[in-house]
Chains A and B, each alone.
Chain A
Amino acid sequence: MNPVAVGFDGLLALLILFLAVRALTAPGLQQPVILFIAFGLAMALAWARMRAPDVALAEAAIGTGLLGVLLIDSLGLFTRSKSETPPQPRRSRAASILAVGTTLLLAGGLGFAILAMPEAEGLAAAAAEKLGASGVDHPVTAVLLNFRSFDTWLEIGVLLIAMWGLFCAGGREGFAPRATEARPGTVLGGTVQSLLPLVLLVGIYLLWLGKVDSGGAFQAGVVLGAAGILLRLGGLGFPDWLRPWLVRTLLLFGFAFMLLVGLSALFAGAAFLEYPPTLAGPLILAVELAATLSIGFTLYCFFTYLFDLRIHPATASSES
């Protein structure tokens, strides 16, 4: 036992808790958003401390990175577009006491339950035993794309469903025809365009890394999505050659591809999503490629859709 390490973890835990509380209690919007992003980064550090680098990458990239960008973009909207914000009524003393009391009570009860938890074995041994038959060398990738690929398939589906949700909420299916305020000549735009090949390279490297080490489709997808978001911020609008049918195809490609793989297993007489042992490795790679493409594109679309919605609000008339 290393007292320095324990001290570090204790301090990091306190910092995470402090950031979470302040993110919700700090006045205004700008501070909470920044504190929340700091919270996410501190969480990524905690994952890394617990030897979960895949999770740390996913959290830093998607949980904090992408969501942080969306929140910062929203910050501009919520603080700018309406000139005067309605004066917020002060919260009553009783309500504050109630909130704090409930928090303490919940934390105490749950904390006690966690302390009283017996040491169960978990599934590490089972996963290690079957790793050889999975077609990949990295245990997390084996769980994600073979042992529990049904979860992963549905999770890629959730991204697509959420995109449909964005379309419904935004009042427009599809994207604004060519955003108009392209700013080619800006420093950001130029930098982004010269950085693009490098970003793509990092994405492909992460995807390949998932075979043997931490990394894989999600992280690679996020890097691709991030490249697109940078391009959008640099003034490059939604590309013209992305026709609506192509957009739809790209959005559902990963989800549909895994469905086809799963269904072909059915026709071969195996269980849904079962890979033949000899083909498991190549099939997983193909599935990862398809997933990377769709994840990256969907994340890009999340951002672009929200960004364009700010510039070109939906025309749907509202009635109450």
Chain B
Amino acid sequence: MTAEAHEIYALLAAPLFAVGLVGVFACRHFLKKIIAAKILGASAFLLLIALAARDHGEGPDPVPHAMVITGIVVAVSAAAFALTLARRIWQETGQSGFGEKP
């Protein structure tokens, strides 16, 4: 692992965050909105892990690792909830996005 590698991933967090954020609003289909929210979350996780990889002599920082594991579980829980809502709306009305004519 080189010093530069984690900087590459830290920087990657910026476009991922932007793509996810714009995607949540710009995508029409519920499923894609949920995927966009997951990408948004992944960007924050990526930055945290990249920060943990900045080595000051003790190996990687375990605190961001723990934060991201917690974050992944929370993100999946929220996504499962959102998916249930989306599926239920589709089954009841045939709408797959906000503001569609049923």
Q: Classify A-B as touching or not with yes or no (CB < 8 A).
A: yes
A181 within 8 A of B: no
A5: nearest residue on chain B (CB-CB)?
Answer: B2
Q: Do A32 and B28 contact each other (CB < 8 Å), given the known contacts A114-B10, A306-B83? A: no
Identify the stretch in A54-62, A186-194, A238-246 within 8 Å (CB) of chain B at 4 or more residues.
A54-62
A33 within 8 A of B: yes
Which B residues lie within 8 Å of A86 (CB)?
94, 100-101
Q: In angstroms, how far is the closest chain A Cβ from the Cβ of B89?
A: 9
Identify the stretch in A104-112, A195-203, A259-267, A279-287 within 8 Å (CB) of chain B at 4 or more residues.
A104-112
A67 within 8 A of B: yes
Which A residues lie within 8 Å of B28 (CB)?
88
A56: nearest residue on chain B (CB-CB)?
Answer: B49
B5: nearest residue on chain A (CB-CB)?
Answer: A9
Q: Do A43 and B63 contact each other (CB < 8 Å), given the known contacts A107-B15, A169-B88? A: no
Which B residues lie within 8 Å of A318 (CB)?
92-93
Which A residues lie within 8 Å of B93 (CB)?
318
How many residues on the B side are at the interface (Cβ–Cβ under 8 A)? 81
A268 within 8 A of B: no
Docked CA distance A54–B66 (Å):
9
Which B residues lie within 8 Å of A127 (CB)?
58, 61-63
Give the interface residue-count category, chain A: 35 or more
Against B, the Cβ 8 Å flags (1 = close, 0 = not) of A234-259 are: 00000000000000000000000000
Which B residues lie within 8 Å of A47 (CB)?
49
Tell me if B61 and A151 are in contact (CB < 8 A). no
Tell me if A82 and B38 are in contact (CB < 8 A). no
Main secondary structure of the interface of A (DSSP, over half): helix
A278 within 8 A of B: no
A70 within 8 A of B: yes
A94 within 8 A of B: no
Tell me if B72 and A166 are in contact (CB < 8 A). no
Tell me if B49 and A125 are in contact (CB < 8 A). no
Tell me if B27 and A24 are in contact (CB < 8 A). yes
Tell me if A171 and B88 are in contact (CB < 8 A). yes
- Taking a contact as CB atoms closer than 8 A, the residue among B12, B23, B69 that contacts A16 in the complex is B12
Which A residues lie within 8 Å of B61 (CB)?
122-124, 127
Tell me if A23 and B10 are in contact (CB < 8 A). no
Closest A-B pairs by Cβ, 9 of them? A162-B77, A111-B14, A106-B18, A139-B62, A143-B66, A107-B18, A124-B61, A110-B14, A165-B81
Chain B residues proximal to chain A, CB less than 8 Å: 1-6, 8-23, 26-29, 31-32, 35-36, 38-39, 42, 45-47, 49-54, 56-70, 72-81, 83-88, 90-94, 96, 100-101
**Could you write out 27 A-B pairs with CB less than 8 Å apart?**
A13-B11, A24-B23, A24-B36, A24-B39, A32-B31, A36-B35, A39-B42, A51-B59, A52-B53, A52-B65, A52-B68, A58-B68, A77-B87, A110-B17, A123-B63, A124-B58, A139-B59, A142-B62, A144-B69, A158-B74, A162-B77, A166-B81, A295-B73, A305-B84, A306-B80, A309-B88, A318-B92
Chain A residues proximal to chain B, CB less than 8 Å: 1-2, 5-6, 9-10, 13, 16-17, 20-21, 23-24, 29, 32-33, 36, 39-40, 43, 46-47, 49-52, 54-55, 58-59, 62-63, 66-67, 70-71, 74-75, 77-78, 81-82, 85-86, 88, 95, 99, 102-108, 110-111, 113-115, 117, 119, 121-125, 127-128, 139-140, 142-144, 147-148, 151-152, 155-156, 158-159, 161-162, 165-166, 169-171, 218, 295, 302, 305-306, 309-310, 313-314, 318
